[in-house]
Amino acid sequence: MTTSSTIAIVGGGLAGAKAAEALRDNDFDGHVVLFAAEDHLPYERPPLSKEYLAGKKKLDDFTADPAAWYRDHNVELRLGTEVTAVDAAEHTLALPDGTTVGYDKLLLATGSASRRPPIPGADAAGVHYLRTIDDAAALSAALTPGSSLAIVGAGWIGLEVAAGARGRDVKVTVVEAAHLPLLAALGAEVGEVFAKLHREHGVDLRLDQSVQEITTDNGTATGLRLGDGSTVAADAVLIAVGAAPNIGLAEQAGLAIADGGVLVDASLRSSDPDIYAVGDIAAAQHPFFGARIRTEHWANALKQPAVAAAGMLGKSAEYDELPYFFTDQYDLGMEYVGHAPEYQRVVFRGDVAGREFVAFWLDADNHVLAGMNVNVWDVLDDVKALIRSAEPVDPDRIADPAQPLSIR
């Protein structure tokens, strides 16, 4: 591409920042413009429910790049600017003030929004969602020692906030429709580990429960009314029932949509050859798994932009990283790698009760589909190698801590 070319990036999160970095690292000297809906510099989101709520990090600590970086690298940063439409035929973006900006290549990194279920009372004061730093600041202000918090949803955000709140001496009740926390993400075997973890730390975990209403008094949330007729009193309510990918622009632009996201190939190119998509919205063909995968994880926002940038610059690249995510809750730190939507069994290696173990998700032929290390470090590369080997393992052998993981 020439110095007169323009690459536009829509999305002011980590993925947008990393895309701008990758373009300059690949010696693209044309115009780069990054549109961020928030007024803040692009930042990472995982700390919002982890270190930020725990008081261990401030926004500056997880801001992707300082303002000087964008200036020094001639990246036009348009903060507080939400692109309203994409005209793929004309290669233009429409802005709220009625102006348009042209592009030669476009990267969509629009991320996700918190799902907002139609629960009566969900718009009351004192009801929180967690997606932005402003959301996190408002929630943090509500978590005063001795107060109470009701959390709707026992997924990653709900459980991480529960852990942070308990660390601040807040009484926490978590209500979950499934019979275990993290059931969709990890399955029953490991979901039990997290249920026990939170109960040991004083969380009132209400499973197999629906929320009928957020109770209010003069427009302010006072707690929850559950499907069994019981109530939960709370000074604040967090709704954490998952994320919805922001694919409105992609749909309006006429891009192919699949699996809840923008259909992209392994190079992260969409059905329009001049538009790429990364992060939460990218339903990407994965070369290793031979399947389309869309995950809402930090690792994609961190690493996919370099592949998309290469593609936009006419270079050959494919995103073949194994899906990866991590969490920190109380004394439990873990990493998960792989993709196991249809696993047949889970094999544990180590001390599950003591929360120092590795778990493996296997298929019917004993191939390792995914692995998770809990408070056991320096094994991630071995777990990845087992997955990528595509060879069956001996379940008894990988369950034995005396046996090296590198030997099948």
Chain segment 46-102, per-residue pLDDT in tens: 999 999 999 999 999 999 999 999 999 999 999 999 999 999 999 999 999 999 999
For residue 114, the tally of other CB atoms under 10 A from its CB is 18
Mean per-residue pLDDT of the chain:
96
CA dihedral 190, 194, 200, 202 (to 10 degrees): -160
pLDDT at 144 (0 to 100): 97
DSSP state of 390: -
Chain segment 18-53, per-residue pLDDT in tens: 999 999 999 999 999 999 999 999 999 999 999 999
Sheet holding 261-264, edge to edge: 257-258, 261-264, 282-286, 291-293
Q: Are 323 and 337 in contact (CB under 8 A)?
A: yes
Report residue 4's pLDDT band, with 50, 70 and 90 as the boundaries: confident
Chain segment 194-206, per-residue pLDDT in tens: 999 999 999 999 9
Chain segment 298-322, per-residue pLDDT in tens: 999 999 999 999 999 999 999 999 9
Q: Are 278 and 305 in contact (CB under 8 A)?
A: yes
Listed in sequence order, the residues at least 6 apart from 396 whose beta carbon sits closer than 8 Å to its beta carbon are: none
Interatomic CA distance for residues 246 and 264, integer angstroms: 15
**Structural domains of the chain, ranges and CATH numbers in brackets:** 6-112+244-313 (3.50.50.60), 116-241 (3.50.50.60), 331-399 (3.30.390.30)
pLDDT at 384 (0 to 100): 97
- pTM, to two decimals: 0.95
Chain segment 131-185, per-residue pLDDT in tens: 999 999 999 999 999 999 999 999 999 999 999 999 999 999 999 999 999 999 9
Enter the tokens of residue 104. Answer: 């030669």
Q: Inform me whether the pLDDT recorded for 408 exceeds 60.
A: no
Report residue 355's pLDDT band, with 50, 70 and 90 as the boundaries: very high
pLDDT at 407 (0 to 100): 52
Q: Inform me whether the pLDDT recorded for 292 exceeds 60.
A: yes
Enter the tokens of residue 250. Answer: 């992609």
